[in-house]
Amino acid sequence: MTGTALLLSSAAQAAYETSERGNAPETAIVIGIQDYDHVTDLTNTRQDAKAMAEMLSSFGYTVYEGYDLDKRGFEALLRQAALNIRDGSQVFFYYAGHGIQLGRRNYLLTSDAELTGIHDLPFQSVTLDRVSAILGGKAGSQILMLDSCRDNPVPDAKLNAEVGAQLYEAREGFDVFRPPLNTLVAFSTSPGATALDGEPGGNSPYTASVVRHFPDRPDEDAMTVLSAIRGDVYAATGNTQVPWESSTLMQKVYLRPAERSLNIAMAESETEVAGLHRMPAELSVKIPLGRALELAPEISPYVRSGTTVSIVESPSSGVTSLQTGDSTGLSLSYAPKLTELPARKDGGQVRKDRMVLRLAQAGAVRDVTVNLEMIARQCDLEAGDLLDLQGVGLYRYPNEINLKEAESACRDAIGAAPGIGRLHYQLGRALQGQGRLIEAYEAFEKASELNHVRAYNAVAYLHVTPNVDRETVPIPYNPDKAFALWDKGIEAGDPFSMHARGKRLLRKNGTPEEKQRGFDLLSRAVELGHTYSMNELGVFFLWSGDELAQPERGFSYLQASAGRGDIYGTANLGYVYRDGGAGQTVDKEKARTLFAEAAQLGHPHAPAEIGRMIMSGDLPGSDAAEALEWYDMGLSRGDAWGGANGAWVALNRLPDRIPAHAAAARAGKAMALNNPDARAAARELLSGMAESDIAAGTQYILRQLGAGIAIDGQFGPASRNQLANWARQAGLPATVPSDAISQLQLAAQVHFALNPIRQDLF
């Protein structure tokens, strides 16, 4: 038979997304930096990295390679590689370039490294032990190989390397560090020594030996091969360079070509197997985009015991592997090469790939081309999360999610694939954004039960956040459970768990060791370009009042965050320019520009900051009406001060343009939000108003909700019934208080219950 067959999905026969553990492809990150912008260039590092990438590709690794990367390029490559590491896989990290010691750590310098300022280190280098912790979170084992101990390119540098203000001198060579469990670290030379470049146009002595020995010794474990390489390099360098390894491996690891052929042994099915003579020359398979796709059901109708299946042409945009299956005797796993991409730019594009298989059976041989079309699930497009290392790369920031569409899409996806944890997590994001916190908590819990790592952070957050009214939302305050979940996420490599746990350790009045651990966790997340952690370190060093505060250092973190488009980093820079400090002069107009940029992108507090600046006279040409617009924007996002201050402006500066009841409504909404200081200010304002204006404010809110009621300030039986009915509809107690301010507050609580603020934006 020739032609193309389209195999339709069915319970018995269809490709599907499966667990990534067990059939996990191996991942390699290969980086060579030769041309530096500010320090001495190197000779062969780019060629060394290319030789390693070629060797690892031939062994079946999915290779992520980068050359002459600056810091942001290094971050992007690490994020893409971390996204594609499957649970339980083997990871290989290779770096050729400048490396130095500072304090107790080893640093890999990016191409833009200059290190002339004491705060430059986290933005011009990558820390080896933190990279290892990130990449090793999901890996079953990892190999780190460093051919990078050339002469120290910054011998005069003195830099911050730890949480304190002490400075460290850069030293050449690498220092010993304690790698995570199941890790092999291979250095091109011994601790503190330097490695040779080799002759121009060739490879370094170390890399040349590596790419020669490993392909020739496929049946020997890595430690055995490295021992031979050590002797080879020592002899080739005139007995001067001694490669060195450190290992926490619990079992032997190998670098060798992946299995490309499998002999099937299976019990014969009671149903007749179609046989190779009926197999089409091409199979077209359509499947939702996933992390690990099982394709064996597509060819199982033609496979019987004794059939040999071989991969004769590998896919170009993913990696496939053959293994023995549980029941069918065959597992043909395909892992697409995922890319981090804003979902709004994706548009549901179809990912296409192809591979060629050869089936041999009782003397008959048949080649079949498998054409894959993978279409992103709408749930992934609508609610995928940034830096979710178990996602498919598509992401939206919280303010970009269409909450109802995301909820519907994720419920549909879960119905089709209930065992995929990320779909439950993404449903939780959609529910949390709607303020449906109990349902969100249940979705996050289900995702965590399915071992979706990002869900650990989501559950932990709901157990400790002050933005939850625990009298009405029965999620207990439980920091012990939260800390345990964050530690679990940290172990699995989740940068959000690192951030959440790290900032609490750094903020608390704890021991120096706790603060150092907090700094380390936040810095580990920074290695992946996690801007939340940049903001946290910026705020800590600028404004914490802690004895470790270093304002100029904090400013450098905020600049890095804002430069990567983070709205909180942008707003925080606005505070610096508004108030001065950190070596910066006051610049009110620049502060306004930064606040406005953050506000436009959804920052909840930045709008009110512009309102305050206008009312303080800092922005000539702006008036109270404009200030009120900014305050109202903040109030709509849940900023209680936007309500309290907006009410004051409306009542005292715009009485001819804004009715008193509209001012009262703003104050009532401030009282309904979880900010005790703003609530007190709003109550004080209301206490000086006429009761009829307050009652009219309650009616005004009810009219906004859709009640057919007059705004006359006479809060009689009709108004009371309307308030009770709307409270009942919102799930709140329907007993109407007797005093006017409490009635207004209840109406405002109803408003936010039916129009919930975005808790996920705070």
Portion of the chain with pLDDT greater than 90, in percent: 73
Residue listed under structure tokens 């553990």: 21
CB 663 within 8 A of CB 633: no
Q: How wide is the angle at C-alpha 147 spanned by C-alphas 141 and 152, nearest 5°? A: 130
CB 582 within 8 A of CB 604: no
Residue 31: the pLDDT is: 98
| CA separation for the pair 551, 650 (Å, rounded) | 37
Number of H helices, E strands in the chain: 27, 24
Could you tell me the CA-to-CA distances from 606 to 267, 408, 577 in Å, in that order? 67, 32, 14
Give, as one character, the DSSP assignment of residue 7.
P
CATH 3.40.50.1460 domain extents, the chain: 27-247
CB 352 within 8 A of CB 280: no
Q: Give the distance, in angstroms, between the CA of residue 582 and the centroid of all CA atoms in the same chain.
A: 29
CATH 1.25.40.10 domain extents, the chain: 389-484
Amino acid code (one letter) for 399? N
10 Å CB burial of residue 268 (0-12, 13-18, 19+) is: exposed
Phi, psi of 60 (to 5 degrees): 95, 5
10 Å CB burial of residue 717 (0-12, 13-18, 19+) is: exposed
CB 299 within 8 A of CB 285: no
| CA separation for the pair 272, 302 (Å, rounded) | 10
| CA separation for the pair 631, 642 (Å, rounded) | 4
Residue 6: the pLDDT is: 36
Residue 266: the pLDDT is: 56
Closest CA to 673 of 691, 646, 693, 650: 646
Q: How wide is the angle at C-alpha 390 spanned by C-alphas 384 and 392, nearest 5°? A: 50
Sign of the dihedral defined by the CA atoms of residues 624, 626, 628, 630, in that order = negative
**DSSP annotation string for 57-94:** HHTT-EEEEEES--HHHHHHHHHHHHHHPPTT-EEEEE
Which residue(s) pair with 361 in the sheet? 364
- Run means of pLDDT, 10 residues per run, the chain, 762 residues: 36 70 82 96 95 94 96 94 92 95 90 95 93 88 89 86 90 78 92 83 94 95 96 95 92 84 63 69 93 90 84 91 73 91 79 94 90 95 94 90 95 96 98 92 98 97 88 90 96 94 91 94 94 96 94 97 94 97 95 97 94 97 97 95 98 96 98 94 97 97 94 94 95 93 97 81 58
| CA separation for the pair 186, 165 (Å, rounded) | 32
Phi, psi of 583 (to 5 degrees): 80, 5
If one looks up domain 389-484 in CATH, what number appears? 1.25.40.10
| CA separation for the pair 131, 461 (Å, rounded) | 25
- pTM for this predicted structure: 0.88
Give, as one character, the DSSP assignment of residue 148.
-
**DSSP annotation string for 554-587:** HHHHHHHHHHTT-HHHHHHHHHHHHH-BTTB---
CB 299 within 8 A of CB 359: yes
- Residue 745 CB-half CA count within 13 A: 20
Please measure the distance between the N-terminal and C-terminal CA atoms of the chain and give it in whole angstroms.
61
Whether domain 27-247 has CATH 3.50.50.60: the reply is no
